[in-house]
């Protein structure tokens, strides 16, 4: 299972490298790419990673790194705009492994996803449990996003409180993130 995980991670990394190489070659892609031909090798590499992550989950039900596999599967799905798959995978990770760092990372990503599609209520629901967790980066990313949502809801005092918590968090250091 570990070798499959490494292979899947390499495929996902290959997709990321191809994407950044393409960005360097063709600066116009930086806006919104509508040409699927240009992105095809990137999507193919990410789809291969997705297949491998799914294979690990299916063939190794007792694998001790399932939370990591689910998180990376969600990342890969999000990278190629498989929104329904991303939501389902992130929800499963949060449900099955609620106290793991990967679940908190998924909460932040899912909250950001809902924010981007202007579903502020769901974004807040997903992010709220992460605002008081032990993981500093995820905690403060959730607080920051919640602060922005509260501004949109014109709850300025509550928003300021969230931003103050981020700014004064002793565990959040520049060199750690």
Q: Which long-range contacts (CB under 8 A, 24 or more apart) does 84-88 make?
A: 85/50, 86/110, 86/113, 87/113
Q: How many CA atoms lie within 13 A of 80 on its CB side?
A: 21
Spatial separation of the C-alpha atoms in residues 110 and 94, rounded to whole Å = 10
The confidence score (pLDDT) of residue 33 equals 46
Question: What's the count of helices (H) and strands (E) in the chain, helices before strands?
Answer: 8, 0
The confidence score (pLDDT) of residue 35 equals 43
Average confidence score pLDDT of the chain = 90
The confidence score (pLDDT) of residue 61 equals 95
What residues in the chain have per-residue pLDDT under 70?
Answer: 27-39, 174-177
Whole-model pTM: value is: 0.84
pLDDT digits (tens, 9 = 90+) for 71-99: 999 999 999 989 999 999 999 999 999 99
Spatial separation of the C-alpha atoms in residues 83 and 60, rounded to whole Å = 25
Spatial separation of the C-alpha atoms in residues 177 and 173, rounded to whole Å = 7
Instruction: Choose among 164, 82, 118, 132: nearest CA to 107.
Output: 132
The confidence score (pLDDT) of residue 26 equals 75
- Dihedral of the alpha carbons of 4, 69, 118, 174, in degrees to the nearest 10: -100
Spatial separation of the C-alpha atoms in residues 121 and 90, rounded to whole Å = 17
Spatial separation of the C-alpha atoms in residues 11 and 44, rounded to whole Å = 9
The confidence score (pLDDT) of residue 34 equals 44
């Amino acid at each position: 299972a570990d070798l499959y995980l490494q292979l899947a991670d390499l495929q996902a990394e290959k997709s990321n490298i191809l994407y950044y190489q393409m960005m360097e070659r063709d600066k116009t892609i930086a806006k919104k790419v509508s040409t699927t031909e240009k992105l095809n090798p990137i999507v193919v590499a990410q789809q291969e990673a997705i297949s491998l992550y799914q294979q690990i989950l299916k063939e190794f039900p007792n694998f001790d790194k399932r939370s990591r596999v689910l998180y990376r599967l969600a990342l890969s799905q999000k990278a190629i705009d498989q929104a329904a798959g991303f939501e389902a995978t992130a929800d499963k990770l949060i449900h099955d492994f609620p106290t793991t760092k990967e679940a908190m990372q998924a909460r932040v990503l899912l909250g950001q996803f809902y924010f981007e599609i202007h579903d502020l209520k769901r974004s807040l629901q997903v992010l709220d449990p992460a605002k008081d967790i032990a993981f500093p980066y995820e905690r403060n990313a959730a607080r920051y996003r919640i602060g922005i949502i509260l501004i949109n809801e014109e709850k300025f005092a509550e928003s300021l409180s969230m931003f103050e918590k981020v700014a004064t968090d002793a565990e959040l250091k520049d060199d750690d993130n």
